[in-house]
């Protein structure tokens, strides 16, 4: 037995989850899918929910925004809870909370109850998501198996949004919009029992003191950043609510970094993000999250409003991209990442995603799915597979077990904040483009359709630029060479 094999054998003996690792992967993948698809599954149900509950067009954005606000702002704080109190405990609490709150939201008879439920859903997701990823990080330590596990997990992270569109369409069309929330109960109940049976709660032998100033600064900062971008489309970029929130959020995040440099027990140890590979991976997840909404948001509108697809058909139209994300994620993580490291994979994935956006930018009013949309989805899906799985794997590689939760939360924060930025920025770009196109023209049905498509294609061009920036950032920051663990996991006590 080689020295490396001996070290791996000892690590496996110390890992209480090793013998059940593949069942645990199924559990964690299910938990992650529930969180990711919930960001989009409700979108397709919005028109039906609005008709049933009678809320205005101005208020409907809050059904989506309430979820992202609490999810994005509480991720780092709740990620540290898992490090301090044990990830089995936080995962189970997150699953139970998500299921109960989803049932309340599904039964909502008023706009206020539905929005409140969505906000608490986001909070439960903020507890659930980093717990799942950190458990994956500490369960799979052998490089080959870790590559397979993170490939599957990355595929779920990248494809979950598209799965949410399909599931939302099916549930809304054949059951009720309420089932877009009830479905979480169906997922959460067996997941809770599986977590109780499969997982061992692990906590540090000595719990550090909690970084309260850092927690307050980062939670408020992220809240204001996400809120500011959510206000860009309805109020404009120069509105007090938008600019004031963004500026205050940036100031608070700067204060947070100062606090973390001086804190004896920081919420986010800066060694986690200052490593070039991990820092580059975090930025890659953020940038690709921003660009990804160019696919989901505008292509969904194009398929339903221009090509007149039903919600179910729209969801089915995204399946080729889902398939390519799965192929790209599993292949890149299990085969390519151990051999080449993240540097060639993530930049190439960004360039492929940019190419997919360029193809979509050629759409017209009479474009066809097979001739114009399908090629773009295949290329984009492969690119996203090369981005998400290697980035998520590298972002959590080499962190100590005591820091696994906050490192995982940082990944989720980047994806959430990136998605919020992308939604607000690209939606504002598209709206402005439509207004400019219509200036001085008679508003006929054809002109209205052409204006809408013009808005989508301008947004696709900008999304291509976002991915191009991502390729430059990833190519600059990520180190060449095969991925290796940077630090051994610190010992933990099973309770």
| Model pLDDT for residues 437-481, shown as the tens digit of each residue | 988 888 888 888 899 899 999 999 999 999 999 999 999 998 887
DSSP class of 399: -
- CATH code for the structural domain at 10-210+267-487: 1.20.1250.20
Alpha carbon 150 to chain centroid distance?
15
Domain boundaries, the chain: 10-210+267-487, 211-266
Quick check: 260 and 439 in contact, CB under 8 A? Answer: no
| Average pLDDT, integer, range 92-108 | 94
Query: In whole numbers, what is the pLDDT of the chain averaged over residues?
Result: 84
Confidence of residue 95 (pLDDT cuts 50, 70, 90): very high
Residue 32: which residues within 8 A CB-CB, separation 6 or more? 129, 132, 133, 153, 156, 157, 160
Tokens describing residue 256? 């947070």
pLDDT at 132 over 50: yes
Q: For the whole model, what pTM was predicted?
A: 0.82
Q: What's the rounded Cα separation, in Å, for the pair 469 and 115?
A: 35
pLDDT of residue 7: 44
CA distance 290 to 25: 27
Which are the contacts of 67, defined by CB distance < 8 A and separation ≥ 6?
A: 38, 39, 42, 118, 119, 121, 122, 125
Question: Distances from the Cα of 440 to the Cαs of 186, 435, 457, in angstroms?
Answer: 52, 10, 20
Q: Chain-centre distance of CA 102, in angstroms?
A: 19
Q: For residues 108 and 55, give the distance between their C-alpha atoms in angstroms, rounded to a whole number.
A: 13
pLDDT score of 267 = 80
Average pLDDT, integer, range 482-490: 45
Using a pLDDT cut of 90, give the percent of the chain over it: 31
CA atoms within 13 A on the CB side of 88: 18
Distances (CA, A) of 58 to 54, 233, 269, 338, 354: 12, 11, 40, 49, 32
Residue 281 has pLDDT above 80, yes or no: yes
d(CA 469, CA 284): 10
Q: How many CB atoms lie within 10 A of CB 372?
A: 15
The alpha helices in 175-275, defined as continuous H runs, are 179-198, 212-230, 232-235, 240-262, 270-274
Give the 3-state secondary structure of residue 307.
coil
Token reading at 449? 């359709």
Q: Which residue did the predictor score with more confidence, 1 or 426? A: 426
In the DSSP assignment, the letter for residue 1 is -
The residue with greater pLDDT, 187 or 9, is 187
Q: What tokens were used for 232?
A: 């860009």
Percent of the chain, pLDDT > 70?
Answer: 92
CA triplet 343, 349, 354: central angle to 5 degrees?
A: 130
Q: Which residue has the tokens 């029992």?
A: 193
What average pLDDT does this structure show over 136-165?
80
């Amino acid at each position: 037995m080689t020295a490396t094999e001996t070290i791996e054998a000892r690590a496996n003996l110390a890992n209480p989850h090793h013998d059940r690792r593949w069942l645990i992967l199924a559990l964690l993948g299910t938990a992650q899918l529930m969180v990711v698809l919930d960001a989009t599954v409700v979108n397709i149900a919005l028109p039906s929910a609005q008709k049933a509950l009678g809320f205005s067009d101005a208020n409907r954005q809050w059904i989506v925004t309430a979820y992202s606000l609490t999810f994005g702002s509480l991720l780092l704080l709740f990620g540290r809870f898992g490090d301090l109190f044990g990830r089995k405990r936080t995962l189970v609490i997150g699953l139970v909370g998500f299921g109960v709150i989803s049932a309340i939201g599904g039964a909502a008879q008023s706009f206020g109850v539905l929005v409140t439920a969505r906000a608490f859903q986001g909070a439960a997701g903020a507890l659930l998501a980093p717990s799942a990823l950190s458990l994956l990080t500490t369960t799979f330590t052998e490089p080959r198996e870790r590559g397979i596990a993170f490939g599957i997990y990355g595929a779920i992270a990248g494809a979950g949004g598209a799965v949410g569109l399909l599931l939302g369409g099916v549930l809304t069309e054949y059951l009720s919009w309420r089932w877009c929330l009830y479905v979480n109960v169906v997922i959460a109940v067996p997941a809770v029992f599986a977590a109780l049976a499969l997982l061992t709660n692990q906590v540090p032998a000595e719990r550090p003191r909690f970084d309260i100033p850092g927690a307050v600064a980062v939670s408020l900062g992220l809240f204001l950043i996400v809120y500011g971008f959510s206000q860009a489309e309805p109020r404009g970029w120069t509105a007090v609510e938008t600019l004031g929130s963004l500026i205050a959020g940036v100031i608070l995040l700067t204060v947070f970094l100062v606090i973390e440099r001086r804190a004896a027990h920081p919420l986010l140890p800066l060694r986690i993000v200052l490593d070039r590979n991990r820092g580059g991976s975090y930025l890659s997840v953020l940038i690709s999250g921003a660009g990804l909404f160019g696919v989901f948001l505008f292509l969904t509108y194009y398929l339903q409003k221009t090509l007149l697809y039903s919600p179910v058909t729209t969801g089915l139209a995204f399946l080729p991209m889902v398939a390519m994300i799965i192929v790209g994620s599993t292949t890149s993580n299990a085969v390519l990442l151990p051999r080449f490291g993240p540097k060639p994979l993530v930049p190439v994935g960004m360039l492929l995603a940019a190419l997919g956006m360029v193809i979509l930018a050629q759409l017209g009013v009479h474009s066809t799915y097979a001739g114009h949309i399908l090629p773009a989805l295949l290329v984009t899906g492969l690119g996203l597979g090369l981005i998400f799985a290697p980035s998520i794997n590298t972002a959590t590689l080499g962190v100590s077990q005591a820091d696994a939760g906050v490192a995982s939360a940082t990944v989720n924060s980047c994806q959430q904040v990136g998605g919020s930025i992308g939604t607000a920025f690209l939606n504002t770009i598209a709206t402005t483009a439509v207004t400019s196109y219509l200036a001085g023209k008679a508003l006929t049905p054809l002109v209205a359709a052409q204006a809408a498509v013009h808005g989508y294609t301008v947004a696709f061009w900008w999304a291509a630029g976002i991915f191009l920036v991502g390729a430059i950032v990833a190519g600059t920051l990520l180190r060449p060479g095969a991925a290796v663990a940077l630090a051994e996991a610190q010992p933990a006590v099973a309770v």
